[in-house]
Structure formats: structure tokens, C-alpha cells
Amino acid sequence: VIVALLPLHIVMLLFLQDSCLSSASQFYSSHTKWKNLTNSFCGGSKMSPIDIVTKNVTTDPNLGNFNLNGFNSKDVFTSIMNNGHTVVCTLKGNEVKVSGGGLSGTYTGLQFHFHWGDGNHPGSEHTVDEHRYPMEMHIVTQKDHLTAPREHPDGYAVLGFFINATKLVSKFYQYMGSLTTPACNEAVVWTIFHEPIHANSELVSSL
């Protein structure tokens, strides 16, 4: 399950952070020159990311709900790679499917990756009312039956999730206890964190 694996990848990012950030800083610091690259579409009229200005947001009830299939798979990804400016987790072919939510067809998950800052500076790509979150996760999907998705305005669909940092270690309960299944050995130091991790109720019920 992607959501269940997320804490593992966040821990991995902590180990990979130093090696990624120097490259990430260099990578994004040159973004103003991207439009000058050969065969580049940078500098167009629909560039991402954006600042989401909530006072300008309108509600569209016709979009409907997203249909997420394969997100509860136990074998959802095949590899994890540090490519120099992020950590990419490749998804198994045809395992994850996304439709609905205003999308014009069915999309297949390719990979998910993260954007984060340097500790003192938040690193989400998108902002909301100029507020930048500590991290942002992108699930990248490709529209089915397209051989050249880059040539279509809806060739890809990316699901973006903001990740909030929290000081979970500041409050926790700890006691000497046991295993919760037989033989119930009294050999465990239990630490229960006070703050819960939030997950969509429909996702939880589907597990």
C-alpha cells in the first residue's frame, strides 16, 4: 500500500538527504534557463507548479470522485532510486490504475517521488496562498492506450499530496510490556506516539 509505505520512504529520505540536496539545489537553481534548452517547452502558458490562491478557486461538482485501483497492493513498487534530485519509486506495470475525478480516461501508475527542502526551508513544489509545505509527493500516471503521451495535453495525470512535518517524538507513551500474540514474551519496550497518522477512511476500510 503506497500510504503504508510512505513512512518507510520518509525514513529513507533522511538517509539520502545529503546526497540529494546538493544536486537538487543545482538542478532547480537553473530553472530560468530551461526555456533555452533544445526542444524545451519551458516558459509556456501552462507551467507547473503554481500557487493555489484559494479565494480564486471554484467548485465543480461534475468532476466526481477518483477511482483508485491497486493502491492496496502489497507489491506495488519494483525499485527505489536516487536520481540526483529526488527519490523515485517505480510502480509495477499495470498494478495501479486511476480514473474519475475529472480525468478523461483511465491512467496507469508509473512511479511516485518526493520533493522536500533542506530542513530549515520547506520543499513542496506547489504552494497554497503562498504557503509552502515541508514535502510533496507526486504519483505519476500515464493515460492508457497512448504511444506518445508527451504529445497530448492530458497524456499524464499526476496526483500530488502535501506532507506536513510534525514533532511526533515530542509526546509519546512508553512502558515495558510483551508481544501481543502467543507466546506473549515480556520482552518489548512499547512506545506509542500520541499524534495519529491521518489516512482517508475509504482507503482504510478497503484494506
Q: Which residues are designated catalytic? A: 85
Nearest to 71 by CA among 92, 90, 97: 97
Q: Which residue has cell 538542478?
A: 27
Q: How many CB atoms lie within 10 A of CB 137?
A: 21
Q: How many CB atoms lie within 10 A of CB 87?
A: 20
